[in-house]
Amino acid sequence: MGHYQLTHLKELEAEAIYVLREVAAQFERPVLLFSGGKDSIVLVHLSRKAFYPARIPFPLLHIDTGHNFIETIDFRDRLVARLNVRLIVGSVQESIDSGRVVEEKGINASRNVLQTVTLLDTIEKNKFDAAIGGARRDEEKARAKERFFSHRDEFGQWDPKNQRPELWYLFNGKKRLGEHFRVFPISNWTEMDIWQYILAEQIELPSIYFTHERDVFYRDGVWLAAAPFMQMKPTEKTERKRIRCRTVGDISCTGLTLSTADTIEDIIQEIAATRVTERGGRYDDKRSEAAMEDRKKEGYF
């Protein structure tokens, strides 16, 4: 490696920090979308670095489906207290109670899709003009075409055919009243980059990323967690397994991995040997070939 060449992780970090500072400079009311998953935890870490020694100059927003892994919520509350940042919670249960959305019924019911309405309502209510998200382009084919600065109209919609060209690092955050931006500072990171960075920076993660015993059941090639609100088919039965989460979302759609990995190094080894993409275990993506594309157009994360 040349003397004046950054390593690829350092270069990705420098790029993400640049994007985060650009958000703070260009927008009046930015917010960071925090799911409790590893990507948003890395985003928070990068935000600390970007504004050091000052505090992170924007709040965190968690869209709470009510169907969470309890470990994620504990982790979230401790992180917020430690960093002294403001946390805003948008509740899907409230959206259901107020009639904004109707809960899905049946075996595959999930609150995943409902989150979009809660997210857009929360953005509008708080007048957020930029929502920083941890989406990566390597995750899914619709995401491969995302910009760093992704414009959303007043309905929160993404128009993939009509995106603004994005050149060099000149990000155009201009918008009309009522419109907002989604900003993705870690667009260029892969799953492996994220894990290597977590290892290199010693970033703390919720315990569900590491192996633990849990009651689970098997459906369509995916292990799902048994929970009171998870409706099971008569043929499905609960089993006790050693598992861990490869991605963390709402319980109803988070596929679990049979695993004994209990350190970051173990996880990296496991991912390196895996032959399935991380979203391959996401039940929400299995609904149709264009599932992510459709949700994104409507305003999903």
Return residues touching another protein (CB under 8 A). Answer: 1-15, 17-18, 21-22, 24-25, 48-55, 137-138, 141-142, 144-145, 160-161, 163-170, 172, 174-176, 187-188, 190, 192-193, 196, 199-200, 265, 268, 271-277, 280, 289-290, 293
Minimum CB distance to another protein, residue 9 (Å): 7
How far from chain centre, in Å, is Cα 165? 24
Give 5 or 235: the residue with its C-beta nearer to another protein.
5
Minimum CB distance to another protein, residue 95 (Å): 28
Give CA–CA dist 153/99, Å, rounded.
24
Tokens for 148?
A: 């760093």
Minimum CB distance to another protein, residue 134 (Å): 16
* 130 beta partners: 30, 181
Q: For residues 111 and 66, is the Cβ–Cβ distance under 8 A?
A: yes
Tokens 């904004």 belong to which residue? 100
Give 249 or 255: the residue with its C-beta nearer to another protein.
255
Tokens 């929970």 belong to which residue? 227
Minimum CB distance to another protein, residue 229 (Å): 27
Give 13 or 64: the residue with its C-beta nearer to another protein.
13
Tokens for 301?
A: 């994360």
Give 94 or 138: the residue with its C-beta nearer to another protein.
138
Minimum CB distance to another protein, residue 187 (Å): 7
Burial of 163 (0-12, 13-18, 19+ CB in 10 A): middle
What order do you get walking across the sheet with 87-91 strand by strand? 87-91, 60-64, 30-33, 130-132, 180-183, 149-152
Give 163 or 207: the residue with its C-beta nearer to another protein.
163
Tokens for 140?
A: 């899914």
Give CA–CA dist 257/273, Å, rounded.
13
Give 82 or 233: the residue with its C-beta nearer to another protein.
82
Minimum CB distance to another protein, residue 191 (Å): 10
> What is the radius of gyration, based on Cα positions, of the chain?
19
Tokens for 153?
A: 């109209």
Minimum CB distance to another protein, residue 194 (Å): 12
Tokens 């109707």 belong to which residue? 102
Give 55 or 78: the residue with its C-beta nearer to another protein.
55
